[in-house]
């Protein structure tokens, strides 16, 4: 088990995602595909242009392979974005990349629903493995122009 935060009363958050450590533990149900859903309704980061805070609800859904993400380390990892300037789309893709690197899941989706700015609300979703070509699939069924 690769957990150094679990069971410790650690309060110091990493300064950036680069410093954060995502920890894992063995999947004890390897013979079954099942989904794990992790919600962070109070995610925050900084706009890289204005420096203003961006708030979001981040949802992570994955089918584990050999490893599962330890949730305390995930909490610290996500909190490390609090003072980190990055565009919303880049955040969602970075989270997906970092989590896939940490646990090599069978499937994973990261979805960020960011608060409205200037009257526009942005939602970004990234998947592993990548999206199938949905337009091509629609054309094959005769549903598109």
Instruction: Please name each of the domains of the chain with its CATH number.
Output: 24-140 (3.30.1130.10)
Active site residue 47: yes
Half-sphere exposure of 106 (CA within 13 A, CB side): 12
Q: What is the pTM of this model?
A: 0.84
Read off the pLDDT of residues 105-130 as tens digits, 9 standing for 90 and up: 999 999 999 999 889 999 999 999 99
Q: Which residues, 6 or more positions from 84, have their beta carbon under 8 angstroms from its beta carbon?
A: 16, 17, 45, 46
Catalytic residue chosen out of the listed positions 54, 68, 103, 124: 54
Q: What is the reported pLDDT for 136?
A: 47
Contacts of 24 (CB under 8 A, 6+ apart): 2, 3, 67, 68, 69, 70, 102, 103
User: Which CA distances in Å does 74 have to 48, 80, 89, 113?
Assistant: 23, 10, 19, 18
If one counts every other C-beta atom within 10 angstroms of the C-beta of residue 114, the result is: 21
Q: Is 54 a catalytic residue?
A: yes
**pLDDT less than 70: residues of the chain:** 1-10, 133-145
Cα–Cα nearest to 96, from 111, 106, 84, 79: 111
Which residue in 18, 40, 47, 68 is the catalytic one?
Answer: 47
């Amino acid at each position: 088990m690769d957990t150094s935060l679990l069971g410790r009363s650690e309060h110091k958050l990493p300064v950036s995602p680069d410093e954060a450590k995502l920890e894992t533990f063995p999947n004890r149900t390897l013979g079954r595909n099942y989904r794990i859903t992790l919600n962070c309704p109070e995610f925050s980061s900084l706009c890289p242009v204005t420096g203003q805070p961006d708030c979001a609800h981040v949802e992570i859904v994955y089918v584990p392979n050999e490893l599962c993400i330890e949730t305390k380390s995930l909490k610290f990892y996500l909190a490390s974005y609090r003072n980190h300037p990055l565009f919303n789309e880049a955040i969602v893709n970075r989270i997906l990349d970092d989590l896939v690197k940490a646990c090599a899941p069978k499937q994973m989706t990261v979805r960020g629903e960011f608060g409205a700015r200037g009257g526009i609300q942005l939602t970004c979703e990234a998947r592993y493995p990548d999206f199938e070509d949905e337009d091509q699939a629609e054309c094959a069924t005769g549903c598109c122009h």
